[in-house]
Amino acid sequence: MPGPGGSGLRAPGSGGTPTQAAPTILDVPPSGSTSAPRSRASASPGAGSSTDRTADVLVVGGGPAGSSCAFWLADAGWDVVVVEKKRFPREKTCGDGLTPRSVRQIEDMGLGAALSGAHRYDGLRSVAYGKVLELPWPEHPSFPSYGYVITRHDLDQLVAERATKAGATVLQGAEAVEAILDTPAASGAAAGTGRLPRCTGAVVRDTASGATTTVRARYVVLADGANSRLGRAMGTSRNRDWPLGLALRGYYRSPRHDDPFIESHLDIRDASGTVIPGYGWIFPMGDGRVNVGVGVLSAEGRWRGVNTSRLMDAFIAHAPASWGLSPETACGQPTGGKLPMGLAVAPRVGPTVLAVGDAAGSINPFNGEGIAYGYETGRLAASVLGRALAGEGDGALDDYERRLQDTYGLYYRVARDFVRLISHPRLMQVCVGTGMHSRSLMALLLRIMANLLRPEEIGAAEAIYGVLAAVAKVGPGT
């Protein structure tokens, strides 16, 4: 695993054309005050105590984005406190699918071996209109050609423990209930400046005892997920003209629980039989169960009111019988959530605050993947905060937005255009129907949609993406 200086990993699928060199985003300047990471035990916030805690950085939320940010900062020797309102291990509604992009980040954090107990899979099986295509993950210079399926119950605990081991203090059962702002009146996107307000910590409530403490920090990271209550209180909002994902998932016992491919059905239908923009998935867990879900992409107001429970019932009823899905094999009631995507949530930067992961709307609109982008944006934030702490000061934080745009800006614009296109049922049908006739076309699309383009070379996928990006660039600019 790389040292505090980072791996120098380049961010594929970067904002420019595929041949444009992507920025190196990941160095976290080390803390001069310590030569080795400080080790602290994971703790509860201290029931009944009102003692202040101070830190270089306070991270609100211990999901993929928060824990990755905390790991990279702590690994570089900075004093980091994470507050997580739940206690690990905890459930999180998710498809539990890790693509090669996620695996790369997990391996970079030194957790490759820890994944060995999870179900490793080789690629994606696409199913639509009676056709089936098995598409192995492509070879790539920066990413492995395999993925994993692992419950968030287990995964998020692993990463939070890794951050703790690197020296971060992870306070569990600790909810940030109020941001400490320099001038409270300035909240609400800093009263129209398009920036988050200056924030120097949070009031933290022990969820067991109700006692509150304060954690004060030079910098604060909002990693509080899709609902992002603290973010909203500080003025973030989601651009409602941009696509939003809605998804529901449940676990089922299945004889094919260790299938080597994750499966995606691209022709899910509503009650009237109309094909819906989105997909149904069956992800083998390797532990006797499969994770089954439906996801809908809502754009320009279309499909916002779709009933995902009914879609799920229909999907279960029509899924291939070999999976053995039925109400009898269900392991419980399905649960759902929103997927803020395409960097739809803003502002993401203030003088002392950064928003990461779902709190920044960083999910990939092409495929609904958010774990990798949580890890990546958390790591990107860590690199910028490390620079700020190492001497550059608050100004370094402005670089976060620029790097987000360099890394994801144009790619997400292309993805948003794609989602708008397929939200028209007829166009969705034409796109999927055409794709399913050509294995090689679907393999190229998989590379584009999973953000596994090779920035240094022009293959067919890169060429297609280049055309789409050129079209997006001259489009209306949303």
Name the residues that contact ligand FAD, by CB under 6 A: 60-66, 83-86, 92-97, 102, 175-176, 223-226, 229-230, 247, 249, 293, 336-337, 339, 357-359, 363, 368-372, 374
What is the closest distance, in whole angstroms, from the C-beta atom of residue 426 to ligand FAD in the complex?
27
Nearer to ligand FAD, 352 or 367 (CB): 367
Strands 212-222 and 353-355: parallel
Cis peptide before 89 (omega within 30 of 0): yes
CB closer to ligand FAD out of 227 and 274: 227
Minimum separation from the CB atom of position 190 to ligand FAD (A): 20
Cα–Cα distance measured from residue 395 to residue 155, given in angstroms and rounded to the nearest whole number: 34
Task: Read off φ and ψ for residue 214, nearest 5 degrees.
Answer: -120, 140
Q: How far is the CB of 471 from ligand FAD (least distance, A)?
A: 27
CB of 247 to ligand FAD, least distance (A): 3
Task: Report the residue number, 352 or 451, with the smaller CB distance to ligand FAD.
Answer: 451
Quick one: 229 or 424, whose CB is closer to ligand FAD?
229
Q: How far is the CB of 357 from ligand FAD (least distance, A)?
A: 2
Cα–Cα distance between 315 and 319 in angstroms, integer?
6
User: In this structure, how many other beta carbons lie within 10 angstroms of the beta carbon of residue 130?
Assistant: 7
Min CB(447)–ligand FAD separation in Å:
17
Q: Report the interhelical angle of 439-449 vs 425-436 (nearest 10°).
A: 120
Q: Whose Cβ is closer to ligand FAD: residue 65's or residue 118's?
A: 65
- How far apart are CB 217 and ligand FAD at their closest, in Å? 14
> Residue 96 or residue 462: which is nearer to ligand FAD going by CB?
96
Secondary structure of residue 371 in the 3-state scheme: helix
Nearer to ligand FAD, 31 or 99 (CB): 99
The residue (of 9 and 160) whose beta carbon lies closer to ligand FAD is: 160
Which residue's CB comes closest to ligand FAD?
A: 370
Q: Which residues of 311-343 are buried (b: 16+ CB within 10 A; e: fewer)?
A: bbebbbeebeeebbbeeebeeeebebbbbbbbb
| Distance separating alpha carbons of residues 167 and 316, to the nearest angstrom | 45
Report the candidate in 375, 25, 60, 365 with the shortest Cα–Cα distance to residue 236. Answer: 60
Residue 391 burial class via C-beta count within 10 angstroms: exposed 0-12, middle 13-18, buried 19 and up? exposed
C-alpha torsion sign, points 442, 448, 451, 454: positive
Q: Which residue shows structure tokens 């002392």?
A: 352
The per-residue b/e assignment along 407-423, b for 16 or more CB within 10 angstroms, e otherwise, is bbbbbbbbbbbbbbebb
- Alpha carbons 447 and 223: distance in angstroms, whole number: 28
Closer residue to ligand FAD, CB minimum distance, 66 or 455: 66
**In the complex, minimum distance from the CB of residue 382 to ligand FAD, in angstroms, rounded to a whole number:** 13
Least distance (Å) between residue 369 CB and ligand FAD = 4
Element (H, E) at 167: none
CB of 207 or CB of 405, closer to ligand FAD: 207
**C-beta closer to ligand FAD: residue 30 or 408:** 408
Least separation in angstroms between residue 473's CB and ligand FAD is 27
Residues 151, 14: Cα–Cα separation, whole Å: 29
Burial label for 110, CB within 10 Å (0-12, 13-18, 19+), is middle
- Nearest-approach distance from CB 66 to ligand FAD, in angstroms: 6
Among candidate residues 117, 54, 160, 116, the one with its CA nearest the CA of residue 375: 160
Task: Report residue 304 as tokens.
Answer: 């916002």
